[in-house]
Chains A and B, each alone.
Chain A
């Protein structure tokens, strides 16, 4: 290829290059101006609340105390993949996926399933609390849910957060809430149909009726610890967390300054309720499992874990499958183990992490 003399050619290139660079900078400035203009003209419609909900919001929903309902049949609280496959077109059934890992729902979900994101749709984004009732009502209605809808939840990680979602739904008055047996992994293992399309449904008329008997707070737990109330506490963490040998499983950030458990609690790790393939054990096996730990339904139960999510799985087993009177202490060990002036049990002898 022929070239002009170096100086001449470079001079030419530099000028054209300068012109191009100028054009690029100009274009970038115009682009910035357009973005800025659009940004200022149109306030981003953020639906994520960044301010604490006012007290008025929380009190807007009527609070009712419902006694535990009649124990339902196993099939009426836990659905098989087979049942779900046959009921995908049933307008009375609404399927909701609650997965921990982002992108799992989006890359393929049970056809017609709605996505609920646990970090925003079941919890408040400011207070350490569950989602405010009015906001939850909005979300449930947008998912086309009515008060008589059969809600089937499923997710990854053996239905961890699906169970948390079931607890929130039940607490806000949904009557018919079920979990998919074997969670998402069983549906996948059976090579059943998946879809990447996000469905839309005509708005439902779900109305929140808040229950007060499915959730307990620190003062309620302390009453049990001090013997003022006859309830049984179930700690569903690993035996090493229970004994205080370790503060939390590896990799978890949320910690308590003390290790151990709430005095008087019994330890039944949550996964014991499941078979190896992730399906629930039979009702008889479950009844026996918890009875051996002293949880037989004769006394009300309180379940807790580290941050409150896994304990909702055991809450589901005790309350929904076995029909016991059970509530979740979602403050769990990260609240209890950090609280001033509350007694703990620490059989491992680790106080402040030293022996």
Chain B
């Protein structure tokens, strides 16, 4: 069962049944419709509000699209990694590989317009290209352990918020605390390892074409090597492509990983082209930074922090574009979960609550130190041909592996 490609197992593809309009169904679909109308109206209001404008409106919609894609495709880095590590099922991992391949192609195209000469010594504007240091590795490892402990990464918790998870709020509160700890340790880490760490951007040496070729080659090798861990698809009965089939494919069954990945990749490119690279921690970090700033717990100076591109944090009094994106993500996931009947609010258990909180703290510290999480540093970094993305990704995977070996994920 666990070896099957999602969307193809008997449980995911229930036998076609006659639709019965129950009150619950009406409530669910009505609620979802209400959410998506609210999102559209919200985007329109934002667009016309001075101080916010098109980028805020677009961020809200990009977030909503991401929330729907994450929820419908179960694009949860922890679940995907766990399927590989624990169940030896690499099927869902193809979502990440596809997302990276598609967004890499898109980034190469956008880079060509943003920074026509990659050899100029400059980095593409605000792309998530970070320093490669021991701190990045440590951040990735702890982030991975935090994922195992709390049951999802930060973006995973954000979309599970929309599914009614009781652990998600705790993990996100933990992440805020972790960010605070990250600010406290930043100055020491910066002077010790980060300041002198190389910022390695492949197009500096290979150009955009060369970097993209290498990018696709590495992803192809990975995809090829993992093929043996994908179980064969069960035979599909021939079906009429009608409205019912479309409804089920879109709103009920889990999306195919390849489709989910491609959609996430396209969303990432659109976000970079129009607003900023995808990331889900900038607003959380800014919130932590602002709270600490006003209560005087922030170090007087965070050396060099604002000079790196990444999920940048600032002391802010307003909701940033990233805040709208996060809000859109949770709401979009909520809407998608409602339609699919996957909105199942659950109260957390005591043990699991502690695990979620502690895992959140680890993830917050990791995301602050790595200048982003699985979305901001892994997805947006690798898509931007930054070595930091690959290093962080490998470290996170190792951290999750360690966490699963230690059976930390059994707590939540």
Is A355 interfacial (CB 8 A cutoff)? no
Is B24 interfacial (CB 8 A cutoff)? no
Is B71 interfacial (CB 8 A cutoff)? no
Q: How far is the CB of B406 from chain A (nearest CB, A)?
A: 18
A residues whose Cβ falls under 8 Å from a Cβ of B: 1, 13, 16-17, 20, 23-24, 27, 31, 34-35, 38-39, 42, 44-48, 102-103, 105-107, 117, 120, 196-198, 200, 251, 253
Q: Report the interface size class on chain B.
A: 35 or more
Nearest 9 pairs of A and B residues by beta carbon: A103-B125, A102-B125, A106-B114, A46-B121, A48-B121, A103-B126, A20-B225, A45-B119, A27-B221
A-B contact pairs, 22 of them (CB 8 A): A1-B2, A1-B231, A23-B221, A27-B218, A27-B221, A34-B214, A35-B214, A44-B121, A44-B205, A45-B120, A48-B120, A48-B121, A102-B125, A102-B126, A102-B309, A103-B126, A105-B125, A196-B113, A196-B273, A198-B114, A251-B315, A253-B301
CB <8 Å contact, B225 and A24: yes
With a CB–CB cut-off of 8 A, which chain A residues contact B275? 107
With a CB–CB cut-off of 8 A, which chain B residues contact A34? 214
CB <8 Å contact, B315 and A16: no
Bound together, the chains give a CA A117 to CA B124 distance in angstroms of 12
Bound together, the chains give a CA A14 to CA B95 distance in angstroms of 24
With a CB–CB cut-off of 8 A, which chain B residues contact A45? 119-120
With a CB–CB cut-off of 8 A, which chain B residues contact A47? 120-121
CB <8 Å contact, A1 and B273: no
Is B228 interfacial (CB 8 A cutoff)? yes
B256-276 contact mask (Cβ, 8 Å, vs A): 1 or 0: 000000000000000001111
Q: How far is the CB of B78 from chain A (nearest CB, A)?
A: 20
Is B250 interfacial (CB 8 A cutoff)? no
Is B193 interfacial (CB 8 A cutoff)? no
Is B62 interfacial (CB 8 A cutoff)? no
Is B44 interfacial (CB 8 A cutoff)? no
Bound together, the chains give a CA A198 to CA B309 distance in angstroms of 22
CB <8 Å contact, B226 and A20: yes
With a CB–CB cut-off of 8 A, which chain B residues contact A46? 119-121
With a CB–CB cut-off of 8 A, which chain A residues contact B120? 45-48
CB <8 Å contact, A39 and B205: yes
With a CB–CB cut-off of 8 A, which chain B residues contact A120? 122
Is B206 interfacial (CB 8 A cutoff)? yes
Is B1 interfacial (CB 8 A cutoff)? yes
Bound together, the chains give a CA A34 to CA B217 distance in angstroms of 13
CB <8 Å contact, A1 and B218: no
CB <8 Å contact, A44 and B119: yes
Which residues 172-209 of B sit at the A interface, judged by CB distance below 8 A? 202, 204-206
CB <8 Å contact, A107 and B225: no
Q: How far is the CB of B127 from chain A (nearest CB, A)?
A: 9
With a CB–CB cut-off of 8 A, which chain B residues contact A105? 125
Is B45 interfacial (CB 8 A cutoff)? no
CB <8 Å contact, B222 and A24: yes
Q: How far is the CB of A206 from chain B (nearest CB, A)?
A: 20
With a CB–CB cut-off of 8 A, which chain B residues contact A48? 120-122
CB <8 Å contact, A1 and B3: yes
Is B4 interfacial (CB 8 A cutoff)? yes
Bound together, the chains give a CA A120 to CA B121 distance in angstroms of 11
Bound together, the chains give a CA A198 to CA B204 distance in angstroms of 19
